[in-house]
């Protein structure tokens, strides 16, 4: 039986396991590029909207929020933080700040690496599927 703390740690580092799974999928020749593209897209969506990370939105004291959030693009339970994170991702000047804040903790790094690997994998699988 898995304890509560072990289950929580597994949930936090699921993004690393997703990263390893995307890399491992390419070593199995029986899987077609379509399956790899779909699974990679699911990894990217998980990292963007469900992976456990810190909020990292700016507070009134110009520090970043350390509340738990879901995904790279979504903020914590505070409604203003959700909109602030989405705006940070799509504004030119704020994107670098958002990336710096996201890479300040291990769960943000895991989610970011998994999202990048999933995007590259999905793109490569789609190109491979279209070329054949």
- Both tokens of 119, joined, read 């995007």
pLDDT at 50: 83
- Single pTM value for the model: 0.76
Listed residue (28, 118, 29) closest to 71, CA to CA: 118
pLDDT at 90: 76
In whole angstroms, give the CA distance from residue 48 to residue 32: 25
What is the average per-residue pLDDT within 115-131?
89
pLDDT confidence tier of residue 127, bands split at 50, 70 and 90:
very high
Burial 15-28 (b: 16+ CB within 10 A, else e): bbebbebbeebeee
pLDDT at 3: 52
For all residues of the chain together, what is the average pLDDT?
79
Q: What are the tens digits of pLDDT across the range 42-79?
A: 888 888 888 888 887 888 888 888 888 888 888 888 88
What is the average per-residue pLDDT within 110-116?
84
In whole angstroms, give the CA distance from residue 93 to residue 87: 11
């Amino acid at each position: 039986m898995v304890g509560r703390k072990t289950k929580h740690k597994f949930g936090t580092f699921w993004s690393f396991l997703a990263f390893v799974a995307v890399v491992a999928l390419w070593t199995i020749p029986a899987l077609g590029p379509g399956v790899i593209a779909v699974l990679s897209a699911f990894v990217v969506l998980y990292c963007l909207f469900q992976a456990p990370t810190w909020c990292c939105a700016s507070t009134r004291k110009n520090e970043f929020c350390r509340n738990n959030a879901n995904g790279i693009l979504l903020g914590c339970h505070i409604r203003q933080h959700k909109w602030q994170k989405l705006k940070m991702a799509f504004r030119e000047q704020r994107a670098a700040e958002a990336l710096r804040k996201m890479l300040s903790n291990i769960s943000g790094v895991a989610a970011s690496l998994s999202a990048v690997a999933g995007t590259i994998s999905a793109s490569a699988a789609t190109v491979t599927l279209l070329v054949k």
